Structure 1
Amino acid sequence: MRYDRRMTASKPSLALLRDLSDENVLLTLMDHSRLTRAELAVYTGLAKPTVAAAIRRLEELGLVFDTGERTTGRGGVGTYYALSAEVGVALAISIAPEGIAVEVVNTVGECQSRFVEPVTRPAAPAAVVRMLVKAVKAATAGIDGKHLRTAVVSAADPVDRNSGSLVHLPDAPFLLGALSPVKKLQPLIAGPIVVDNDVNWAARSEQATRAAAGGQLDDFVYLHLGEGLGCAVVTDGEVRRGHSGLAGEVAHLITTGSDGHAVTFTSIFEQLSLQQTESTAIDVHRLLARLDSTGGAELARTLARAICGVLSAAIAFCDPSAVVIGGTWGTAAPLLAELRRQAAILPRAIPVEVATAIGSPSLAGARTAAVDALRRDVLARATSAAL
């Protein structure tokens, strides 16, 4: 067929160009607290008149405002613009044995307020519900409810991916029953609420931390070894939650016990007298103390053998490129060295790496997701208003 220049693709409509310009300006303001129109033109690559028109439209939508601040120095006076309060905020929430933490974050990723409510041990479901609501109200005091656009929750329990409710599995150390953060938070939050377990959020935080450092890890398992036991499965750069959301619940995997017989992973800590009183939670202080004691080398061999049993299952089903160890005791020097030695002689050897996201990786993962969700919400509102 003969080529005809009249058959070239049609040019984008003016409406589409306006939408793209508005989106570009919004995204740039999300990365900076305030900017002048001249600065926006530099950052976006748009012409100054295009930026001015986009600012005018976004001001009319209530998404951008004149801060009242002006540039100083030579040349013309520049006006600073920023995202308005109408853009709203997001909540990042952690429900964990040590307490409930609530952070209010903006589109720039800044934490505007934070409240932590300690959890009484052992945790009672009804009490945790009250603490959750109290913490959210305290962190958001003075903020109009319509500005609470979304919430992302990290929970130290299995999470049903369809309902967002916590799931009670046998021997779970942090028993909250079928607590539904979504139902409890819906009266307080204007938009969607996302819930996932803490280990999955920690794995996402690990990905982000490595990416920020110029690295990449798209296929790995993240094994959390703390008061509780958990695993996140990441393939092709995505956390895989499974049919019901319980992928990675490794506590009941069969492995090798302290006596050489087959036991569930969680049972070995009972065999070794490493559980907290009247709980299946691991006594981290006792475990670390024993690793540093006279019999520490034998304990490290026993624990590493049990962990490698879990890793063998993960390797068989997930084919990861590496295992990342997180939590409060899995990276203890004597244990880590023994774990690496045993992992290297498995039928399918695998490198064992230490988590690079430290501090509160689960909350950090939830925080990043909350900021991303808020940004998408702002862009969606700008687009829908233009229709």
Structure 2
Amino acid sequence: MDSLVRAQTDEHVLRALMRRPRLTRAELAAEIGISKPTAGESVRRLTERGLVADTGERTPGGRGRGRVGSYYALTPEVGVALAVTIAPAGVTAETIDVYGDTTARAVRRIDRPARPSQVAAALRDAAAEVCAAAGRPARLAVVGAADPVDRATGRLVHLPDSPFLVGELDPVAILAPLEVVVDNDVNWAALAEPARPRDFAYLYLGEGLGCAIVNDGEVRRGHGGLAGEIAHVLTAGPGGRAAPFIEIFGELGLRREGSTAIDVERVLASDGATREAIVAAVAGVVAAVVALADPREVVVGGSWGPGLIDGIRAATGRMPRQVPLRAAAAGGEPVLAGVRAEALDRLRAAVIKAYS
């Protein structure tokens, strides 16, 4: 029982030092709600394990201001997490410390069309660079990829008409021996949405097409990890003819030359009948998602989806089943933001599990 109590106390001390970079033993006691001697004993144990160290900083003391206190902080031995995104533009790798700060960043560009060997080399090089620059051990990696992901193996899955075909890529093997978590980029972008509801669909409309289904606060990935792959959903095509969603952009001449990737600039510059056809196709996909997933709302993200939000909203307003539809709120790098958040949670959990 005593060992269990000590382990729980050490966990509380570690978590407190993850929330605040430095604390005295008295501040730890107040933060956690334990006695000062108990806090002091926990600091001693964690110091002996090399996880906590005296920073050398002292509180003001003397002349009626009480005893001088020493500040303690986590040591570099608690390590960092690797956060990675793999996209048509390239590989971005960062190291994240237990405070959620980015300690190193590297970017490797990728040629088009992407080749698995080049992407693998870019991933390996970027990860090695940031891990070396961080100067502390990497404990795990979280990866977001612009391709479907096999949930059992973490390998990228080759699907027809995907604009970023690197289905032979195996991030788990490349980043071994780290523990590696891999998921689709759209799922990570959905999880980065601020103040997201517990039930919603995140529609990604960019060079590629995707959808994340969040139910009861959890992303639903399906049996093989392919839930939300909307490219081949049948929807309204030009002239009212039913067609797979991705094929409509080929018929409208909106694909990049020699690729199935959607030409974002031309989509945003479209008007008249072309824009009406795009909006009608998106509305048909939204109708299918609403019918099958019953989301509370639909969030539209990606590089061109939010730019057509008014037309999409007007078209979906004529559907029999309606849900609120809005543009994604997460700006900047939403995929990387979602990956970072997961990497931070897993890093903190790994430190607690290994040392408390």
Q: Same fold (TM over 0.5)?
A: yes
Shift of 1:300: 3.1
The equivalent of 1:275 in structure 2 is: 255
Secondary structure of the corresponding residue to residue 192 of structure 2: helix
2:225 corresponds to 1:245? yes
**Could you say which residue in structure 2 is the equivalent of 1:305?**
280
Is 1:137 paired with 2:144?
no
TM-score, normalised relative to structure 1 = 0.88
In the alignment, the residues of structure 2 paired with residue 270 and residue 160 of structure 1 have an alpha-carbon distance, to the nearest angstrom, of 27
1:172 has 2:162 as partner: yes
CA distance in 2, matches of 1:323, 1:377: 34
AA in 2 matched with 1:99:
G
Partner of 2:341: 368
SS in 2 for 1:55: helix
Structure 1 partner of 2:327: 354
The structural deviation recorded for 1:344 is: 1.7
Q: Runs of 4 or more off by more than 6 Å in structure 1?
A: none
1:31 maps to 2:19:
yes
Q: TM-score of the superposition, structure 2-length normalised? A: 0.96
| 1:60 counterpart = 2:35 | no
Match of 1:378, SS state, is helix
Q: 1:113 to 1:341 in 2, by over 3 A?
A: same
8 Å Cα contact 1:308-1:343 kept in structure 2: yes
1:284 maps to 2:259: no
AA matched with 1:202: A
Say whether the 8 Å CA contact 1:251–1:266 is kept in structure 2. Answer: yes
The Cα of 1:142 is off from its aligned counterpart by: 4.8
Contact 1:100 1:119 in 2 (8 A): yes
Partner of residue 17, structure 1: 5
What is the CA–CA distance in structure 2 between the aligned matches of 1:176 and 1:283, rounded to whole Å? 20
Cα pair 2:53 2:75 within 8 Å, conserved? yes
Partner secondary structure for residue 259 of structure 1: helix
Amino acid at match of 1:200: N
Please, which of 70, 81, 93 is the counterpart of residue 58 of structure 2?
Answer: 70
The reply on whether 1:337 has 2:310 as its aligned counterpart is: yes
Partner of 1:7: none
Please state whether the residue corresponding to 1:328 is helix, strand or coil.
coil
Of the candidates 114, 117, 120, which is equivalent to residue 105 of structure 2?
114
| Matched residue count | 353
**In the alignment, is the contact (CA less than 8 A) between 1:168 and 1:178 conserved in 2?**
yes
Separation in 2, partners of 1:255, 1:243: 24
Runs of 5+ unmatched residues, structure 2: none
Q: In the alignment, is the contact (CA less than 8 A) between 1:343 and 1:351 conserved in 2?
A: no
Distance 1:96 1:36 in 2: 44
Contact 2:104 / 2:133 at 8 angstroms: preserved in 1?
no
Give a deviation string over 1:3-24, Cα, whole Å, max 9, x none.
Answer: xxxxxxxxxx333322221111
Tell me, what secondary structure is at the counterpart of 1:141?
helix
Other structure's SS at 1:66 match:
strand
2-side partners of 1:281 and 1:151: how far apart? 28
Q: 1:143 deviation in Å?
A: 5.2
From 312, 325, 337, the equivalent of 2:300 is 325
Q: Which moved more, 1:348-357 or 1:223-232?
A: 348-357
Among 148, 151, 157, the alignment partner of 1:161 is 151
Q: Is the 8 A contact 2:210 2:231 kept in 1?
A: yes
C-alpha contact 2:21 2:99 (8 A) present in aligned 1: yes
Counterparts of 1:336 and 1:371 in 2: how far apart (Å)? 33
Q: Does 1:260 align with 2:240?
A: yes
Once the two structures are superposed, what CA deviation does each residue of 1:72-119 show, in whole Å capped at 9, x if it has no partner? 364322211111122111000000111111010011111111111111
Deviation at 1:25, TM superposition (A): 0.8
Q: Do 1:344 and 1:351's aligned partners in 2 also have CA atoms closer than 8 Å?
A: no
- In the alignment, the residues of structure 2 paired with residue 297 and residue 260 of structure 1 have an alpha-carbon distance, to the nearest angstrom, of 16
Give 1:382's aligned amino acid: Y
Q: CA deviation at 1:121?
A: 1.9
State how far apart, in whole Å, the 2-side matches of 1:289 and 1:220 are: 29
* Pairing 1:42–2:30 present: yes
Deviation at 1:71, TM superposition (A): 2.4
User: CA offsets per residue over residues 318-368 of structure 1, 9 Å max, x none?
Assistant: 111110001011111xx2111111212211111111111111111111111
2:176 maps to what in 1? 186
Q: CA deviation at 1:169?
A: 0.2
- Deviation, 1:370, is 0.6
1:88 & 1:221 partners in 2: Cα distance? 35
> What code does the residue aligned with 1:196 have?
D
Determine the structure 2 residue equivalent to 1:219.
199
Structure 1: tracts of 5 or more residues without a match: 1-12, 211-215, 291-295
Change (3 A) 1:186 1:144: farther
Q: CA deviation at 1:297?
A: 4.2
The one-letter amino acid paired with 1:375 is R
Q: CA RMSD in A?
A: 1.4
